[in-house]
Amino acid sequence: MKYTLNFSVELTKEGSHILYDPEKFADTPMAISVPDVVKIVESFIKSFEEVGIIEKALPKSIQNQEKNGIDNPSEREQLSEQNSINISPALRSLSGKAYICKSKELNETVLNQFCTQLTEYLQMCCSKFSPDTFLSEENGLYVSGLKEVLELRNYLAKYTRSHKKNYQNGYLYIMVI
């Protein structure tokens, strides 16, 4: 399984679902795909709220689209009837699953445990390198893991330690890919 980590300044919740609105994210999503890092993240998100993601659906009226390119009047009328149907926002489907946690409600004990696991993983990756194995392709996974751990660290430091009010009221948003 893979995840993306993002920070949402504002979430619109409807029960146990949230509306997906990419404009409400503070940054670009960070991919989490190295298997060992994924396991560490999975233990971290156990304390988060699991929610379903619903695509943001705006009512649309598609009248008069493509009508001009049809010569037959009956075909034009039929297309007009098909295209004039309003798409109801109530007809939305679940498009994914995410784990959310309000930044200021993040359990410090859970965060410290997560940071401990990331630090241990970071140390383990570094111990795999020597002058003889530094350029080895076998260490590629460790290099990727190091990169993800450092990106996670920077991301979490930026959004969980900030004194900006909109970040304190925002949400860590981990989406399953």
Give me the average pLDDT of each 10-residue run along the chain (177 residues): 94 90 91 97 96 71 45 55 46 79 92 96 95 91 96 93 86 94
pTM of the model: 0.77
Task: Please give the DSSP secondary-structure letter assigned to residue 9.
Answer: S
Angle at 107 between CA 101 and CA 110, to 5 degrees: 105
**CA gap 22, 113 in Å, rounded:** 30
Output the pLDDT for position 49: 95
pLDDT at 109: 95
